[in-house]
Amino acid sequence: MRVLGIDPGSETTGWGVIEGEARRYRLVEYGAIKAPPRERFSSRLLKISNGIEAIIERFKPDVCSVEEAFYATNVKVALKLGQVRGVILLAAERAQVEIAEYSPRLVKQTVVGYGNAEKHQVQEMVRVLLSLKVIPEPHDAADALAIAICHFHHAGAKSRILAADARVKLALSTATRRRSLR
């Protein structure tokens, strides 16, 4: 499975691509889409959208894992972040890539083991989990990689739960069929 993790931002949108399975994955590439704050906001959205579309086209991910919006005290910041998330989700949907969304707290809990972890702790664990020599820069890219790692951990658990549910349903239908044949 190949996962594109995205950390949305109106000035810097981090991205990272990881491939592998469950808890065995490796780094493919990472980076950031920079949208200068002096540009019109609509121009920045276009730049982010075009960048995400190009990344999806280049790496052909199976899943696009995006950080959910977080609580912001500044309403304008929250609205802008929502618009950035919108163009990212639209780009992934257009490319017919599965979309998974994770809260910042769950990402930190999954990667560091503590939902209120500091940014530097997340960066260091990303470095360790991906066996990198240095922490990925900019920090937005490290956050995007953390979001992709989070998906690997939770997608593996989800698939095991679905498989277990299927086995239970099969066992129940087999038992019901046996009783009706008697």
**pLDDT tens, 51-70?**
999 999 999 999 999 998 76
pLDDT over 80 (residue 161) = no
pLDDT at 166: 58
Q: Is the pLDDT of residue 88 over 80?
A: yes
Average model confidence (pLDDT) for the chain?
A: 87
> Does position 8 have pLDDT exceeding 60, yes or no?
yes
Identify the band that residue 175 occupies on the pLDDT scale cut at 50, 70 and 90. Answer: low
Query: Strand runs (DSSP E) across the chain, as ranges?
Result: 2-7, 12-21, 24-34, 63-67, 98-102
Give the pLDDT band (50/70/90) at residue 155. confident
Average pLDDT over residues 131-156: 92
Strands in 63-67's sheet, in edge-to-edge order, are 24-34, 12-21, 2-7, 63-67, 98-102
| Token reading at 5 | 């993790």
Q: Which residues are catalytic?
A: 7, 67, 140
- Dihedral, 143, 109, 74, 82 alpha carbons, nearest 10: 60
Contact predicate 32/152, CB 8 Å: no
Share of the chain above pLDDT 90, in %: 67
Q: Delineate the domains of the chain, giving CATH numbers in brackets.
A: 2-181 (3.30.420.10)
| CB 143 within 8 Å of CB 122 | yes
Whole-number Å distance between alpha carbons of 113 and 125: 10
Average confidence (pLDDT) over 36-52: 95
Place of tokens 């052909």: 60
DSSP 8-class letter at 69: P
Evaluate if residue 71 carries a pLDDT over 70: no
Write out the DSSP string of 71-82.
--SSHHHHHHHH
Query: How many beta carbons lie within 10 A of that of residue 40, not counting itself?
Result: 8
* This prediction's pTM: 0.84
